[in-house]
């Protein structure tokens, strides 16, 4: 499946998804490539606020160790983490 071209703002957000931690990079970049082409300005703003958080906090949120107090960020975390949870193999 070919991804849609991204505008300048979407490319900047995608670049900010590169955190230097493999797990974060995979989750965030996959989400951004899938969602940014059709994202509203408000959705992009929420993603931008999320990307301002420090990496340890992002990891805690995306791995379900903590829940963001901001409802918009909590919803975003659910949307980012949901596909990852379905891809993980069950622990045996």
Per-residue model confidence as pLDDT tens digits over 3-19? 668 899 999 999 999 99
- Predicted local distance difference test score (pLDDT) of residue 6: 86
Question: Would you say 10 and 29 are in contact if contact means Cβ atoms under 8 Å apart?
Answer: no
b/e code 2-12 from CB counts within 10 Å (16+ = b): eeeeeeeebee
Tell me the pTM: 0.82
pLDDT tens digit string along 32-87?
999 999 999 999 999 999 999 999 999 999 999 999 999 999 999 999 988 655 44
Residue 71 — φ and ψ, nearest 5°? -60, -35
- What pLDDT is stored for residue 4 in this prediction? 66
- Measured over the CA atoms of residue 55, residue 85, residue 32 and residue 64, the dihedral's sign is negative
């Amino acid at each position: 499946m070919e991804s849609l071209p991204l505008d300048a703002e979407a490319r900047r957000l995608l670049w900010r998804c590169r955190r230097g931690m493999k797990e974060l990079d995979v989750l965030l970049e996959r989400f951004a490539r899938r969602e940014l082409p059709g994202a509203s300005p408000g959705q992009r703003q929420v993603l931008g606020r999320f990307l301002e958080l420090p990496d340890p906090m992002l990891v805690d949120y995306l791995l379900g160790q903590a829940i963001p107090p901001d409802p918009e960020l909590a919803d975003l975390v659910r949307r980012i983490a949901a596909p990852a949870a379905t891809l993980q193999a069950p622990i045996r």
